[in-house]
């Protein structure tokens, strides 16, 4: 591959020797239009084979839960379900998400969506299922179905719907959202909020509207398209 790396296709630096240099910039020459640059299969394979190996390695490491991956989804509503969520450091406060002016999704909401922001410092989820509606088909990610659970850190979600059977430990209700301390996220001043040392939610179901950000470890990862969401 070193033999060709010195060939400069755009410069056309040796016009006197069309046999060794490449002069495709000369449009009149009949040889120029016949001799085109193209992809050599074996040369591409030099990179494709290790790249595919690394991609497979990343997928395997993620599926084993050794490698955390980061999610930051927005713009599309997506659903998260889990049979069980255990978390330490929990905060929740209300907020208003403002849509872009004139957004077609406005409807009768006046461009504002009331969302609940939940932040969990460290969370363990059993049988996580996450689906995004792509219009007609759903992208479904499932993980944590085996003995290893999904773990997530700095999980922050803006949701419009949140259901489940919740139990809190050491809960403080009615704090000002700007004084929260448990999960390291601060809300806007003057907004109702609550926080707790630990949280347990059974049969969690969340419709997230705006964003989530956090590092997930997803043992037993499955990624696929399906007609049905979570």
Q: Rounded to the nearest 5°, which phi and psi values hold at 177?
A: -65, -20
Interface map 159-198 toward another protein (x if CB under 8 A): --------------------------x-------------
Q: Which residue has the tokens 């591409």?
A: 44
Does 66 help bind another protein (rule: CB under 8 A)? no
CA distances 49 to 40, 45, 57, Å, are 14, 6, 12
Does 9 help bind another protein (rule: CB under 8 A)? yes
Does 37 help bind another protein (rule: CB under 8 A)? yes
Q: Do β-strands 128-133 and 138-143 pair in parallel, antiparallel, or remain unpaired? A: antiparallel
> How does DSSP assign 165-179, residue by residue?
EEEEES-EEEEEGGG
DSSP secondary structure letter of residue 219: T
Q: Binding to another protein (CB under 8 A): which residues in 126-155?
A: 132, 139, 141, 154
Does 213 help bind another protein (rule: CB under 8 A)? yes
Binding stretches for another protein (CB under 8 A): 1, 3-5, 7-11, 21-25, 27-28, 30, 32-48, 51-52, 54-55, 58-59, 62, 67-75, 132, 139, 141, 154, 156, 185, 210-211, 213-215, 223
């Amino acid at each position: 591959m070193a033999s060709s790396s010195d060939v400069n296709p755009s410069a056309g630096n040796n016009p006197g020797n069309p046999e060794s240099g490449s002069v495709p910039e000369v449009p009149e020459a009949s040889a120029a239009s016949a001799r085109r640059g193209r992809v050599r299969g074996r040369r591409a394979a030099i990179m494709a084979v290790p790249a595919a190996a690394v991609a497979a390695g990343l997928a395997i490491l993620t599926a084993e839960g050794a490698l955390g991956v980061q999610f930051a989804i927005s713009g599309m509503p997506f659903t998260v379900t889990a049979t069980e969520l255990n978390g330490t450091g929990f905060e929740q406060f209300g907020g208003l998400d403002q849509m872009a002016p004139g957004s077609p999704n406005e409807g009768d909401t006046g461009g504002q969506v009331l969302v609940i922001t939940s932040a969990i410092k460290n969370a363990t989820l059993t049988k996580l299922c996450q689906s995004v509606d792509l219009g007609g088909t759903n992208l479904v990610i499932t993980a944590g179905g085996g003995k290893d659970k999904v773990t997530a850190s700095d999980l922050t979600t803006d949701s419009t719907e949140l259901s489940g059977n919740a139990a809190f430990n050491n809960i403080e209700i009615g704090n000002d959202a700007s004084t929260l301390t448990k999960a390291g996220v601060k809300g806007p001043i003057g907004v109702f909020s609550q926080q707790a040392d630990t949280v347990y939610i059974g049969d969690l179901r969340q419709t997230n509207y705006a964003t989530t950000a956090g590092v997930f470890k997803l043992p037993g990862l499955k990624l696929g398209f399906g007609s049905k969401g979570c």
